[in-house]
Chain A
Amino acid sequence: MNIFWQYALIFAVFIALSLLNMGIITKVKAFFGGRKGAPVLQKLYDIIKLWQKDITLSTTTSWIFFAGPFLSVLVPLIAFAMVPFGSVHALISFEGDFILFLYLFALLRFFTVASALDTGSSFEGMGGAREITFSVLIEPILFVCFIILAKISNSLALENLFGIHSFTSWTHDSTVLTIVVFSLFVVMLAENSRVPFDDPNTHLELTMVHEVMVLDHSGPLLGLITLGSALKLTLFALLISHLLLPLHTDIFWLDLVLSAFVSMGVVACVGICESLIARLRIVAIKNILLGTFVIALFGIIMITRQSL
């Protein structure tokens, strides 16, 4: 198959998968709640509906207001280009690219908060303040995870950190890898505003983190944000699924399907978490994130003990 079409296919699968994953979460939550739940592709219908609408802008906004939604789609797509999928290599890969990966998400965060502040609404400011506060606690966890993975895979490229080293790693460093998977899972919940940290579905804006920042975005802009958050969630799920899936068959289609299925499983776990755990108080979030950071640090200690 032509290399160009291969990558085009992968991007298409990624986008489709991310829409599907959002549906899976709703279905899992509906199952636990004893309901039937919205159709699996509900997000897609929402986005199509939103895309056909017009945009109503607040009179206080400027061009910054558009930057947040644009980047929220663009950044996960670019970041996906650095991540392997199935047995296909990452499109962009070089030594130290995971730092670029993390700082691209920092760029996204900067402009998401900026476009929230652009409206001059007190609620959106509140969301912005929470977002930047929690990010200070989340970022070190990610760095610690990447340090551990760099040690295990003996490489500094994202493609290898989440590459096929994991079969031998699971046999040798299974505890450490479990810690990494756990930490990444917590980070995924926190970064994507899932339940123990944030609940986009409450009726009260005062308690939200991410959702309250997009109160004034309407029509296609809201559609872009919805799509962007789905992409981001699936990107994180894919990262975790690379660690969980220690084997490659080197058959293009089979690997693609396997990866997709494992990421669906990860996302189903998110749904289960959401059903079983109640949302934390904002004050408690700090403790959970610090605790995860400490656990991740233990991982570093273990991995260096082994090497001595």
Chain B
Amino acid sequence: MILLYFSLFFIFISAFIPIFFRNHIAMSEKLGALLHIIGALFGLGFVINFFQNPIALHVTFPFSLLGQTLVLHCDALSAFFLLSILLISSASCLYGLSYYSYEHRGVRASWYYRLLFGLFTFSMVLLVISDSFMLFLLAWEMMSLLAYGLISIDEDDKEANEAGFIYIIATHTGVIALLGVFGLLYTYFGVTTLSASWHIIDQNSSVASIIFLLGLFGFGLKAGIFPLYFWLPSAHANAPVSVSALLSGVMIKMGIFGILRICLLFAQPPHWWGWLLFIIGIISGLLGVIYAIAQHDIKRLLAYHSIENIGIIMIGIGMAMLGQSYGNQSLMLFGIAGAVFHVLNHSLFKPLLFYSAGSVIEAFHTRNIAAFGGILRVMPYTALFFLIGAVAIVGIAPLNGFASEWLLYLGMFKNIFASQQMIILLLGILGLATIGTLALACFIKVFGATFLGTPRDISLEGIHESSRWMLLPMGVIAFICIVLGLMPFLMMQMLFSVAVLFGVSTPEISLLALQDLSEAYLYILPLAVVVITVLWLKLSKKSSKCVGTWGCGYHAPPKRAQYTAGSLAQMLLEYYGWMFKGKRHLFEISGLFPKSLNFHLHFDDKNIAALNFMGLAIQSFANRLRAFVHNGYMGLYVLYILATLIVMLLYVSFL
């Protein structure tokens, strides 16, 4: 635990370094980042040390906070989430050195950003190890508010401010639900810490379902499950890239962390909870990826992919819960292991994608995918890292996204013929397969339209590869993605100790499946490397670059004639047209000399549109009600008072 205190301490003071040394901002920015990374290294040391012998650490402080004793508790689940918080926050810190430096944004923005950023990381680390309800809520609230500050850090950006506003409303609606959860726990069961409330609620308790649903709402709002993700795309799209990476990679995972903590409260959950989580997972996954395909803003697209991945994680959690309620150990083990492994994996490849997209946005000052093209030639490393991230997130072999999805597949296939869960697992397999292929289509679109071909609305002249501070964190994360992809068994012990927490009692041997994967790669990779090297050496000598792309008879086809991102996705989106609130403005050519014509195609998110519509309807109903009740006649107000008095008198006299 000492290492963790050091980590918290260093991260905390790293936030205040730039504000105290404003006059030497260039030096203090680097010093702050250094301290942050030292803190993260201490924390990682703690995590590695912890998993050598994963026994929960429990610390009670001799003073109280807001009427409750301050208790810290670190178990396998906390330690697992610490891993991704510390890794990604320090990567973002490095990336921010060049991306959010005082030279670009000014001295005030620089120290303000670093203050919020350091405290944001601090609050998340505190959140996962806090045990008393008060401390948990305090850390949760601190994290949410600091995230708001980071999203709308650019005061002149109207869109960002609006996104931040939606976010803050959403997050506070969630907190109300969480207050309900902890209030009920305290009132009905008299507990004040999370660790004391393990398995405290049995199935027949009258408040069990209420607590579960409130928790799912409160934490699900933060995680961005269907249909509560409405704040997520705009917030992720408008925040600075180094922050989006942290929001998407880590903060929304705190919602997952919360849902897992809620699951731990129950000894024997009813069947329908598992079904609910599972189906929410499938719908979030499918909707997220389909809406992602329709986006033309690269950051918004990545944000929608977060929803997709949260869906995949929820499928895993749903599996675990089904396993728990039907008493199926193997379903539980593979579900929980796949889910938390995917949490870690998503917190690696999503920041990687955000960083590389951020470098592109920095260089070309637009987020519109339709404008890009051919960027690979001027930013080869950024393109390579984006490619690695894309292959990983799509979940194709041999990168880490595949390893975690493979665990989920394996769990479902192993148990699909075990009677009651047949239909749901069949849906799960088909859902996961469809999500996978759709994600592939989406990332082909982004990668192809952004990095390949020829530029559409941008100029490549004078553009250079981004700075080393930006490439370094990308390189490190890409390396981790590859290592975890090829050797997923490295995570076996960690995954298993998390699963044990959830009541899995099968021997560790059953996760050896991850080793099978590595053994297969051991055969495949040498063959692949040899074949590719030989072919490359042989063919690169024979090739000559001398002609343009064949234009099917046209000598010099204009660059606008390239297939665009929109047209790549269009055919696929037509299949899923019913999911969209679509607008299309088709044109018809008429006359001998047609004028220049425009063509627009919009695919809008039907879920957000529906929520919007519902919100407006409620608002207009409330308006009318108010106008009816509060109509300005003095006599009527007196009547209200009289009526209230009579009702109260009746109440007192009869009850």
Binding site for B on A (CB under 8 A): 54-62, 64, 66, 70, 73-74, 77-78, 81, 91-92, 94-97, 99-100, 103-104, 106-107, 109-110, 113-114, 117-126, 128-130, 132-133, 135-136, 139-140, 143-144, 147, 150-151, 156, 205, 215-216, 219-221, 224, 286, 300, 304, 307
Known: A56-B543, A114-B452, A139-B433. A133 touches B572 (CB 8 A): yes
Contacts of B413 on A, CB cut-off 8 Å? Answer: 96, 99, 147, 150, 156
5 pairs of residues in contact across A and B, judged by CB atoms under 8 Å: A64-B452, A103-B397, A113-B448, A120-B559, A120-B562
Contacts of B551 in A (CB 8 A): 121
* A156-B513 Cα distance, complex, nearest whole Å: 12
User: What's the Cα separation between A216 and B551 when bound, in Å?
Assistant: 10
Whether A96 lies near B544 (C-beta < 8 A) is no
Find B524's partner among A70, A78, A220 (CB 8 Å cutoff).
A78
In the bound assembly, the distance between CA atoms of A128 and B429 in angstroms comes to 26
User: Please, which residues of chain A bring their CB within 8 A of the CB of B414?
Assistant: 156
Give the CA-CA distance A110 to B391 in the complex, in Å.
Answer: 8
Q: How far is A32 from B178 in the complex, measured between Cα atoms in Å?
A: 72
CB-nearest residue of chain B to A125 = B563
Chain B residues lying within 8 Å of A107, measured Cβ to Cβ, are 391, 396-397
- B406 in contact with A221 (CB, 8 Å): no
Query: B440–A57 contact, CB under 8 A?
Result: no
What's the nearest-Cβ distance from chain A to residue B291, in Å? 15
Cα distance A121–B391 when bound, in Å? 23
Flag whether B586 is at the interface (Cβ < 8 A).
no
Contact between B568 and A129, CB atoms less than 8 A apart: yes
Q: Which residue of B lies closest to A121 (CB)?
A: B549
C-alpha gap A60/B433 in the complex (Å): 34
Q: Mark B552-580, 1 if CB is under 8 A from A, else 0.
A: 10000101011110011111100100000
B145 to chain A, nearest CB (A): 41
Most buried by B among A62, A136, A220: A136
Residue contact A114 to B444, C-beta cutoff 8 Å: yes
A133–B575 CB distance below 8 A: yes
Is the CB–CB distance between B436 and A106 below 8 Å? yes
Q: Are A78 and B527 in contact (CB under 8 A)?
A: yes
In Å, the complex CA distance between A250 and B599 comes to 65
Q: Does B528 contact A (CB under 8 A)?
A: yes
Prevailing SS type, chain A contact patch:
helix
Contacts A56-B544, A96-B410; A62 near B376 (Cβ below 8 A): yes
A62 to B410 Cα, complex, angstroms: 37
Complex interface: chain B residues within 8 A of A123 (CB): 552
Instruction: Kindly list chain A residues whose C-beta atoms are within 8 Å of the C-beta of B443.
Output: 110
CB atoms of A132 and B572 under 8 A apart = yes
Interface size on B, residues (CB 8 A): 77
Task: Report the bound CA distance from A77 to B447 in whole Å.
Answer: 27
Overall SS of chain B's interface: helix
Q: Is the CB of A62 within 8 A of B452?
A: yes
List the B side residues contacting A140 at CB < 8 Å: 430, 433-434
Question: A106 near B394 (CB under 8 angstroms)?
Answer: yes
Cβ of B103 within 8 Å of any chain A Cβ, yes or no, is no
Whether a CB of chain A sits under 8 angstroms from the CB of B532 is yes
Q: What are the 4 A-B residue pairs with the smallest beta carbon separation, nearest first?
A: A125-B563, A117-B448, A120-B453, A94-B516
In the complex, residue of chain A having the shortest beta-carbon distance to the beta carbon of B543: A55
Cβ-neighbour of B429 out of A92, A109, A133, A147 (below 8 A):
A147
> What residues of chain B have their CB less than 8 Å away from a CB belonging to chain A?
373-374, 376-377, 380, 391, 394-397, 402, 406, 409-410, 413-414, 416-417, 422, 426, 429-430, 433-434, 436-438, 440-441, 443-444, 447-449, 452-454, 513, 516-517, 519-520, 523-524, 527-528, 531-532, 535-536, 538-540, 542-552, 557, 559, 561-564, 567-572, 575
Shortest A104–chain B CB gap in Å is 6
Q: Are B437 and A106 within 8 A (Cβ)? A: yes
**Across the interface, do B452 and A96 meet the contact criterion of CB distance under 8 Å?**
no
Q: Which residues of A contact B575 (CB under 8 A)?
A: 133, 136, 286
Known contacts A99-B410, A117-B452: A307-B417 contact under CB 8 Å: yes
- Residue in B closest to A215 when the chains form the complex, CB atoms: B550
B residues near A119, Cβ cutoff 8 Å: 453, 549-550
Q: Are A57 and B543 in contact (CB under 8 A)?
A: yes
Closest CB of chain B to A207's CB: distance in Å?
A: 13
Known: A118-B452, A304-B417, A307-B417. A110 touches B549 (CB 8 A): no
Whether A103 contacts B520 by the Cβ 8 Å rule is no
Q: How far is the CB of B364 from chain A (nearest CB, A)?
A: 17
B519 touches A94 (CB 8 A): yes
List chain A residues, Cβ under 8 A from B540.
66
- B549 and A104 within 8 A (CB): no
The CA of A68 and the CA of B522, in the complex, are separated in Å by 22
Q: B434 contacts A121, CB within 8 Å?
A: no
CB distance from B420 to the nearest CB of A (A): 12
* Given A113-B448, A133-B575: A57 touches B544 (CB 8 Å cut-off): yes
CB distance from A232 to the nearest CB of B (A): 16
A211 to B242, CA, bound (A): 42
Complex: A114 Cα to B546 Cα, angstroms: 21
A283 → chain B closest CB, angstroms: 10
Q: Is the CB of A129 within 8 A of B571?
A: yes
Residues of the B chain whose Cβ atoms lie less than 8 Å from the Cβ of A70: 531-532, 535-536
Minimum CB–CB distance from B407 to chain A (whole Å) comes to 9
- Report the bound CA distance from A140 to B427 in whole Å: 11
CB of B98 to closest CB in A, whole Å? 25
Q: Out of A58, A144, A151, name the residue touching B430 (CB < 8 Å).
A: A144
Instruction: Report the minimal beta-carbon distance from B409 to chain A, rounded to whole angstroms.
Output: 5
Whether A59 lies near B409 (C-beta < 8 A) is no
* Chain A residues within 8 Å of B570, by CB: 129
- A205 to chain B: closest residue by CB: B552
Q: Is the CB of B567 within 8 A of A129?
A: yes
Query: Assuming A107-B396, A113-B448, A129-B571, is B516 touching A96 (CB within 8 A)?
Result: yes
- When the two chains form their complex, are residues B572 and A74 in contact, meaning their CB atoms are under 8 A apart? no
Inter-subunit contact B544/A121 (CB<8 Å): no
State whether A114 and B545 are in contact (beta carbons under 8 Å apart), knowing that A123-B552, A129-B570, A140-B430 are contacts in the complex.
Answer: no
